[in-house]
């Protein structure tokens, strides 16, 4: 009778330990799969960080060239004493891109554009890039006059900016002044949304020091076309450099977080494996003592 009860007890213990061992094996397998997936993600983010670093270096060189032309244009309007008007018809050109995984860089531009729309009475929106368009369409869908996509795949060129400016002017969107809202590149880890003002022929002709330039009417029309294209190019290149720096920072943080997760999962896996081995040893000792 005693041996029968001992046998039943040994069988019950063996069954319980088998269930625990099966449960541990399932958990260890899940952790192993999770480790494998996190390792793959870490490799991808590390590669994307290296690619973004290379692109950022090239984008900074293009940005320095664009700044020279942009600052010269800004000095022209400043010396002519051209000032924006609150009641004038305003066109806001929002510069973003089609790609994500770069932090809140598109949200900052969209937020600055919304604030500018609320400050002006008659405003229209031209959006460059699908990311900012999807955000602005939620609140200002009626104000969007034009939108462009396929932006941000490579370093922007002046030819692309000229096509965008030519399309805006051919659509005959009436405006007295325009503001290009873009992300200004401050450093590798910092950027901020800023505005580039562009004025129409009529508003520029009303400038206080306009007579000092002796500009002909035909040249004045060409000047407006050049100002729009040059400002769009400046905003695109600055925005691209800011996007690459933000993407580099985002991928660096993602790689760091993946590394921390790998350490925690490895520790959990090793502890579970040790527990499973210990349970197996206990089962062997228990079975031997029962016999």
What pLDDT, in 10s, does the model give residues 194-208? Answer: 898 888 877 877 777
Token digits of residue 90:
């305003």
Token digits of residue 137:
């369409």
165 has pLDDT over 80: yes
For residue 212, the 8-state DSSP code is G
Residue 4's pLDDT band, with cuts at 50, 70 and 90, is very low
Token digits of residue 173:
């969107």
What are residue 80's phi and psi, to 5 degrees?
-80, -5
3-class secondary-structure state, position 69? helix
Q: What angle do CA 161, 69, 129 make, to 5 degrees?
A: 30
Give me the sheet containing 177-187, strands edge to edge.
Answer: 144-148, 123-128, 90-95, 177-187, 190-199
Least confident of 18-22, 26-30, 40-44: 18-22
Residue 181's pLDDT band, with cuts at 50, 70 and 90, is very high
Residue 291's pLDDT band, with cuts at 50, 70 and 90, is low
Q: Which residues contact 76 (CB under 8 A, 6 or more apart)?
A: none
Q: What pLDDT sits at residue 233?
A: 92
Q: What is the arithmetic mean of pLDDT over 112-141? A: 86
3-class secondary-structure state, position 218? helix
Least confident of 81-85, 167-171, 239-243: 81-85
CB atoms closer than 10 angstroms to residue 281? 10
139 has pLDDT over 80: yes
239 has pLDDT over 60: yes
Q: What pLDDT sits at residue 237?
A: 92
Token digits of residue 272:
């579970």
């Amino acid at each position: 009778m005693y041996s029968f009860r001992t046998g039943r007890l040994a069988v019950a213990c063996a069954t319980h330990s088998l269930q625990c061992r099966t449960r541990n094996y399932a958990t260890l397998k899940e952790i192993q799969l999770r480790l494998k997936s996190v390792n793959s993600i870490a490799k991808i983010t590390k590669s994307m960080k290296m690619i973004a670093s290379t692109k950022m270096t090239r984008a900074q060189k293009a940005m320095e060239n664009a700044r020279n032309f942009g600052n010269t244009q800004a000095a022209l309007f400043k010396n002519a004493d051209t000032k924006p008007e609150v009641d004038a018809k305003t066109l806001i050109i929002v510069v973003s891109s089609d790609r994500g995984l770069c932090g809140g860089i598109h949200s900052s531009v969209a937020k600055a554009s919304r604030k500018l729309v609320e400050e002006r009475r008659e405003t229209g929106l031209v959006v460059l890039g699908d990311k900012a368009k999807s955000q602005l369409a939620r609140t200002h869908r009626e104000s969007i006059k034009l939108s462009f996509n396929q932006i941000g795949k490579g370093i922007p060129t002046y030819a692309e900016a000229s096509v965008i400016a030519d399309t805006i002017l051919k659509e005959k969107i009436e405006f007295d002044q325009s503001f290009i809202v873009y992300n200004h590149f401050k450093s590798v880890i910092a950027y901020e949304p800023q505005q580039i003002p562009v004025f129409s022929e009529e508003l520029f002709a009303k400038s206080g020091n306009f007579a000092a330039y002796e500009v002909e009417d035909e040249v004045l029309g060409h000047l407006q076309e050049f100002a729009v294209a040059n400002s769009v190019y400046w905003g695109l290149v600055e925005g691209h450099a800011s996007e690459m720096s933000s993407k580099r920072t985002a991928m660096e943080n993602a790689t760091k977080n993946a590394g921390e997760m790998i350490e925690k999962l490895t520790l959990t896996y090793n502890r579970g494996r040790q527990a499973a081995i210990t349970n197996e040893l206990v089962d062997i000792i228990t079975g031997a003592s029962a016999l």
